[in-house]
Chain A
Amino acid sequence: MLLLAQYTLIFASVLLLVAMGGCFSEHSGVINIGLEGIMVMGALGGALMMKFLDPSVPAIVMILMVILAAVIMGMLYSLLLAVAAIQFKADQTLVGTAMNMLGTAAATVAVRAINSAESPDNVSSAIQYIEEKKAFLININGFEFNWFMVVAVLVLVASYVTLYKTRFGLRLMACGEHPQAADSVGINVYKMRYAGVLISGALGGLGGIVYITAGVSEWKFENGVAGFGFLALAVMIFGQWKPVNIALASLLFGLFRALSNVYTGFPLLLSLKLPGTVYNMLPYIISLIVLAFTSKRSRAPKAEGIPYDKGQR
């Protein structure tokens, strides 16, 4: 039971972070399908930081440096989307898809190059961080508390305040609903959209490093992040683009994802004799059903996915 709670919370943290990222991007009017790729790049940044930092540095330094590396990598990578979608009015779905493919390929190429530069025999695409990972964990009576859970809660509060209580957040949302109107009152739509995408890059990258440190202590970058970025998109839609709802949705989805890891520990679930893959599928099936019922009155930002052209009426 404790294990289930632990996995649920950590997976929920990942989903919350990444979905909030998507939320910022979409509220500014840019669809971010590339979250998966951003997660991979963020994970790469964090993992490399862990690899090159001495495991004996104080835990707080380790945590901050790793977070910083993941956030910066995520932001840099999201610039690819920002420039293409905002400056060059490219098809956002196409660019996002390309970024997902590019993320995994680039990370694999980079890690292999680094690994084989260290020792020519090492052709794996994995990075290990057994010792370094301990900085993030506190063991409380068998429950592995992870500092990233706190980070996720902080991000949630900050996002809520930013979106609803600050001038910046309200302007950002205006750009996703009706950019022409926003522009007419002097808001720079392009700047706001850049901000939205960069924030999503930061949060996506952060989510990436949380994901690869959850449960395992080495990561093979060939595998990308196994669809978590897409799951986060589902969480975001399920949460109707609102931070509190997104938090609840990520808890629910986190629970299902955790069940697929630990369902063997529950006699009741085990007696159902369902294959483990069913639990992997559940979040997707549920979100599809929910989407079918809720999309008629969807709260999606109205102008998302449409490149903003100043000259257009």
Chain B
Amino acid sequence: MNSNGKSKSSLLRNNAVQTLLASLLSIVLGLLVGYIVLLIINPAGAGQAIINILKNYFYYPSEVKVKQYFGSTLVKTAPLLMCSLSVLFAYKVGLFNIGAAGQYVAGAGAALYCALNLKLPWFVCVVAALVAGAVLGAVSGMLKAYCNVNEVISCIMLNWIALYSVNMLLAGVKDSTSPYTIGIGSVNEAGLIPAAGLGVFFANNKYVTIALPCSVIMAILVWVVLEKTKLGYELRATGINKQAAKYAGMREKYNIILTMVISGALAGLGAAFFYLTGMEQWAVTQTSIPGMGFNGIAAAFLGGLNPIGTIFSSYFIQHITSGGSYVDKTLYCSQISDFISAIIIYLCGFVFFFKLWINRMLDKRDEKAAKTQKGGEA
């Protein structure tokens, strides 16, 4: 019986288990707060609304629809996953890449410009998006390394600069009757990322492309680079202590810039993975930055800052965001799911404290157990 208790406590002591528990707790509390808000607005439909948010595409009775909308949710998950990887990568090196949003915007601008104006094939557009994101990241990185500008501040400035520049850039390829850019499919078929037959699994959802497996591969790649290579080790060391890294002969300035370049490239790639499917067009009149990059922050922290964890957390965030559109619109608005995900990120801020608390509680229990055991022997 004793050994049983011990294994249980050591399981709780496991860092990964604690992270998972903390994330699940955040989700449950976030949903609870959302439910309470729904209750306040209108008690009659609250339960149904929260179920609809959680059900998302299962809302449809027909299997074909379910498959199709499952595909759509996945298509939107791919860019979110890339953004959260971008945030995560920088965070592991001690940088807070709030600029993932701007890098995503830059990537979208580059990809759409190449596809619509220059009529280039898809892989060129993808590379263009990657480069655009990387350049924006490099600017923040260089400002941080050489001019001591806080990366959070420079990223915020760059977010807005990117948004307005992209709006200007894409104004040339705008549809004449709407504020949106022209559909890629209508002018440059080769600009769309190929589906490679993946659509079959999702009831011929034509937006499902190889972007999906690619984003998962990128997640695994990020994990490998961070955990299994010398480069990843150096970067993480720089993040933990810049001075110590420098003392150990690592090029700390180069590492900071490189991190932001990789981070920016990931976010830019995310934009290509989304806009080159043709699912949505860019509105050149938008005055607020797309939430994808900020949701990426949410997914990164909810996933416990683990690349594999973010695959699941990105899906979850996207799942409830899409689910928001199935609430009864006459009673509630779809922003309720934004509200819930914002609460969840807020709660993720408490993860550190939560772990501290668990460990302290376990320490106390162990102490007590040790005492009673001693008492019993004597």
Among candidates B148, B287, B297, B339, residue contacting A109 with C-beta atoms closer than 8 Å: B339
- One of A94-102, A126-134, A167-175, A182-190 at the interface: A94-102
Residues from chain B with Cβ under 8 Å of A245 in the complex:
none
With A224-B288, A292-B143 as known contacts, state yes or no: A95 contacts B349, CB within 8 Å: yes
- Cβ of A213 within 8 Å of any chain B Cβ, yes or no, is no
Among candidates B37, B329, B330, B345, residue contacting A97 with C-beta atoms closer than 8 Å: B345
- Cβ of B204 within 8 Å of any chain A Cβ, yes or no, is no
Q: Which of A86-123 contact B (CB under 8 A)?
A: 88-91, 93-95, 97-102, 104-106, 108-109, 112-113, 116, 120, 123
- Cβ of A281 within 8 Å of any chain B Cβ, yes or no, is yes
With A102-B343, A230-B156 as known contacts, state yes or no: A97 contacts B147, CB within 8 Å: no
Majority SS at the chain B contact face: helix
Q: Is the CB of A84 within 8 A of B346?
A: yes
Q: Is the CB of B341 within 8 A of A101?
A: yes
The residue in chain B whose Cβ has the minimal distance to the Cβ of A260 is: B164
Among candidates B149, B342, B350, B352, residue contacting A101 with C-beta atoms closer than 8 Å: B342
Q: How far, in angstroms, from A227 to B294 measured CA to CA in the complex?
A: 14
Q: What total count of A-B pairs have CB within 8 Å?
A: 150
Q: Is the CB of B333 within 8 A of A108?
A: yes
Q: Is the CB of B156 within 8 A of A93?
A: no
Residues from chain A with Cβ under 8 Å of B152 in the complex:
31, 33, 93
- Cβ of A166 within 8 Å of any chain B Cβ, yes or no, is no
Q: Chain A nearest CB: distance from B143 CB in Å?
A: 6
With A275-B168, A281-B165, A298-B148 as known contacts, state yes or no: A98 contacts B346, CB within 8 Å: yes
Residues from chain A with Cβ under 8 Å of B330 in the complex:
116, 120
Residues from chain B with Cβ under 8 Å of A278 in the complex:
164, 168
Residues from chain B with Cβ under 8 Å of A224 in the complex:
288
Q: Is the CB of A105 within 8 A of B154?
A: no
Q: Chain B nearest CB: distance from A123 CB in Å?
A: 7
Residues from chain B with Cβ under 8 Å of A298 in the complex:
148
Q: Is the CB of A98 within 8 A of B157?
A: no
With A101-B342, A281-B164 as known contacts, state yes or no: A94 contacts B349, CB within 8 Å: yes
Q: How far, in angstroms, from A100 to B42 measured CA to CA in the complex?
A: 25
Q: Is the CB of B153 within 8 A of A237?
A: yes
With A285-B161, A295-B149 as known contacts, state yes or no: A94 contacts B333, CB within 8 Å: no
Q: How far, in angstroms, from A70 to B171 measured CA to CA in the complex?
A: 38
Q: Is the CB of B333 within 8 A of A93?
A: no
- Cβ of A249 within 8 Å of any chain B Cβ, yes or no, is no
Q: Chain B nearest CB: distance from A186 CB in Å?
A: 27
Among candidates B165, B346, B352, residue contacting A102 with C-beta atoms closer than 8 Å: B346
- Cβ of A280 within 8 Å of any chain B Cβ, yes or no, is yes
Residues from chain A with Cβ under 8 Å of B297 in the complex:
94, 97
Q: Is the CB of B352 within 8 A of A90?
A: yes
Q: How far, in angstroms, from A80 to B147 measured CA to CA in the complex?
A: 33
- Cβ of A277 within 8 Å of any chain B Cβ, yes or no, is yes
Residues from chain A with Cβ under 8 Å of B288 in the complex:
223-224, 226-227
Q: How far, in angstroms, from A293 to B149 measured CA to CA in the complex?
A: 9
- Cβ of B167 within 8 Å of any chain A Cβ, yes or no, is yes
- Cβ of B160 within 8 Å of any chain A Cβ, yes or no, is yes
- Cβ of A73 within 8 Å of any chain B Cβ, yes or no, is no
Residues from chain B with Cβ under 8 Å of A120 in the complex:
330
Q: Is the CB of A80 within 8 A of B346?
A: yes
Q: How far, in angstroms, from A210 to B149 measured CA to CA in the complex?
A: 30
Q: Is the CB of A101 within 8 A of B333?
A: no
- Cβ of A288 within 8 Å of any chain B Cβ, yes or no, is yes
Q: Is the CB of A123 within 8 A of B333?
A: yes
- Cβ of B336 within 8 Å of any chain A Cβ, yes or no, is yes
The residue in chain B whose Cβ has the minimal distance to the Cβ of A231 is: B160
Residues from chain B with Cβ under 8 Å of A261 in the complex:
none
Q: Is the CB of B168 within 8 A of A125?
A: no
- Cβ of B96 within 8 Å of any chain A Cβ, yes or no, is yes
Among candidates A90, A101, A109, A296, residue contacting B37 with C-beta atoms closer than 8 Å: A109
Q: How far, in angstroms, from A106 to B37 measured CA to CA in the complex?
A: 10
Q: Chain B nearest CB: distance from A116 CB in Å?
A: 7
- Cβ of A287 within 8 Å of any chain B Cβ, yes or no, is yes
- Cβ of A233 within 8 Å of any chain B Cβ, yes or no, is yes
- Cβ of A291 within 8 Å of any chain B Cβ, yes or no, is yes
Residues from chain B with Cβ under 8 Å of A105 in the complex:
335-336, 338-339, 342
Q: Is the CB of A113 within 8 A of B346?
A: no
Q: Is the CB of B335 within 8 A of A94?
A: no
Q: Is the CB of A281 within 8 A of B161?
A: yes
- Cβ of B348 within 8 Å of any chain A Cβ, yes or no, is yes
- Cβ of A144 within 8 Å of any chain B Cβ, yes or no, is no
Q: How far, in angstroms, from A291 to B142 measured CA to CA in the complex?
A: 12
With A101-B291, A105-B342, A296-B148 as known contacts, state yes or no: A291 contacts B154, CB within 8 Å: yes
Mask, B165-204, CB within 8 Å of A = 1, is 1011001000000000000000000000000000000000
The listed residue with most A CB atoms (<10 A of its CB), out of B165, B333, B348, B352, is: B333
Q: Is the CB of B168 within 8 A of A277?
A: yes
Q: Chain B nearest CB: distance from A204 CB in Å?
A: 16
Q: Is the CB of B339 within 8 A of A233?
A: no
Among candidates A106, A116, A230, A295, residue contacting B160 with C-beta atoms closer than 8 Å: A230
Q: Which of B196-254 contact A (CB under 8 A)?
A: none
Listed in ascending order, the chain A residues whose CB lies under 8 Å from chain B are 31, 33, 80, 84, 88-91, 93-95, 97-102, 104-106, 108-109, 112-113, 116, 120, 123, 125, 222-224, 226-227, 230, 233-234, 237, 275, 277-278, 280-281, 284-285, 287-288, 291-293, 295-296, 298, 300
CB-defined A-B contacts under 8 Å, sample of 28: A33-B98, A89-B352, A89-B353, A91-B352, A93-B152, A94-B297, A94-B345, A94-B348, A98-B298, A101-B345, A105-B336, A105-B339, A108-B333, A108-B335, A113-B332, A116-B330, A120-B330, A123-B329, A224-B288, A226-B287, A234-B153, A275-B171, A278-B164, A284-B157, A284-B160, A288-B161, A296-B148, A298-B148
> What 3 pairs between A and B have smallest CB-CB spacing?
A90-B349, A102-B342, A98-B346
